Each structure stands twice: as structure tokens, then as C-alpha cells.
């Protein structure tokens, strides 16, 4: 327990530079492979791999990273034009320590008062519910990628 409290205090969150994006996408692939790929068909896993390497798809995404010292341990990628989260991953060794929540709060600061959307993997739905996201449609599968559309709307208390 003492180590967990120490780790939380050392974690910093900031926007990533262009030079750090490759490491962020590598982290996304590692976490996806471990926690999400088992719920996907081979087609879905291949489609996600393609997304991580598609320069056109990756254009226009802002990246936020969580760092334990110098080590990248989490990331959020959001399309600034649509306020849509494309990537949200935290290294498994850091799950359930508040890293994802802190990452989302950092994104919210960049988009105050905005509705934010995402397409959650089956693995992520409970986490997003805990953050306050609501399901907007039933689970879908496109090109083998399983997802549930969700949105986060700012509450009246948050607007004040």
C-alpha cells in the first residue's frame, strides 16, 4: 500500500510532444493486446493495428500522457475537432490507481463544458461508467472492432 501511495504522488500528466507519440502508440498496442484483443476477432485485432499505423487516421489527434517519473504509463488521444476520444490506455501494472481518472480530468480541462464521446471496448465500459459516461447506443462491431458508443456530458454542477 505504501508503494501505491508513493507512485500516485509521482505520476504527472501532460500533453505529449510529437516525438513522444510513437511511444504512446506502442503503449496502446501493448495494453490492447493484453486486455482487449482477447475479446476481438483476428480481423478486429488487425484493424486496430492498422489504425495505429495509419498516418491519415492519426492526424488531428491530441495526446495526453501519464508518467511515472520518465516512464509513460498511460495515454489518451482525442480528436480536438469532434471532442472524441480515440485512444485511452493505462499500463496494466497501474490499473485501479486513479491514473485513468486523472488522465480524463486533464482532457476535460482542455475542453471545459464540452460533451466528450468515445467508443468503448467491452473491457472499458465499467470504467467509463464510473467516470460518468453514458451509453448512447448498443454494442456494435465494425471491421471486427467491438465497441459501445458512449458520451460524457457536463453536469449542471460542473458548469458552475
**Which H/E stretch holds residue 4?**
helix 2-10
Phi, psi of 102 (to 5 degrees): -65, -40
C-alpha cell at 108: 476535460
Provide the residue count of the chain: 160
pTM: 0.87
CA–CA separation, 115 vs 20, rounded Å?
A: 27
pLDDT one-digit tens code per residue, 93-130: 999 999 999 999 999 998 888 999 999 999 899 999 99
CA–CA separation, 101 vs 106, rounded Å?
A: 9
**Average pLDDT of the residues in 29-51:** 93
User: How many other CB atoms are found less than 10 A from the CB of residue 34?
Assistant: 13
β-partners of residue 90 are: 74
pLDDT one-digit tens code per residue, 51-76: 999 999 998 899 999 999 999 999 99
Amino acid at each position: 500500500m505504501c508503494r501505491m501511495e508513493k507512485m500516485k504522488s509521482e505520476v504527472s500528466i501532460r500533453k505529449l510532444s510529437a516525438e513522444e507519440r510513437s511511444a504512446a502508440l506502442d503503449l496502446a498496442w501493448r495494453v490492447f493486446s493484453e486486455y482487449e484483443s482477447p475479446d476481438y476477432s483476428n480481423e478486429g485485432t488487425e484493424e486496430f493495428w492498422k489504425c495505429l499505423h495509419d498516418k491519415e487516421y492519426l492526424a488531428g489527434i491530441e495526446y495526453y500522457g501519464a508518467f511515472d517519473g520518465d516512464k509513460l504509463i498511460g495515454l489518451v488521444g482525442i480528436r480536438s475537432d469532434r471532442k472524441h476520444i480515440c485512444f485511452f490506455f493505462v499500463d496494466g501494472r497501474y490499473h485501479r490507481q486513479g491514473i485513468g481518472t486523472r488522465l480524463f480530468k486533464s482532457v476535460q480541462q482542455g475542453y471545459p463544458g464540452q460533451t466528450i464521446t468515445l467508443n468503448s471496448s467491452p473491457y472499458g465500459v465499467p470504467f467509463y461508467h464510473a467516470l460518468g459516461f453514458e451509453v448512447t447506443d448498443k454494442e456494435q462491431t465494425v471491421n471486427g472492432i467491438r465497441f459501445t458508443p458512449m458520451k460524457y456530458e457536463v453536469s449542471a454542477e460542473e458548469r458552475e
